[in-house]
Amino acid sequence: MKKLRYCLIALPLLLAGCLEVDQHPEWLHGQYAGKTDPRHYQTRFHNDRLAWSATIQNRGMKQNEYNRANP
């Protein structure tokens, strides 16, 4: 009975480290082998950085309490 108890205690401890997945990106010939992440202005604004910047600044102005409180 004691051996069964020890086995039941040891089993989760032994299996705890077995399920971890490698989280580091693959490197081939010294360079990252994954795809590059596109920037927000490239995907949503058709590579127009000025339109993206204007949208971000406009959103920041609408979140400013001083601009919203004063008519």
Q: Residue 19's pLDDT is what?
A: 67
Q: Residue 17's pLDDT is what?
A: 66
12-68, pLDDT tens digit by residue?
777 776 667 777 777 778 887 778 889 888 989 999 999 999 999 999 888 888 877
Instruction: Give the HSE-up count for residue 8: Cα atoms under 13 Å, Cβ half-sphere.
Output: 5
C-alpha to C-alpha distance for 41 and 36, rounded to whole angstroms? 14
pTM of the model: 0.48
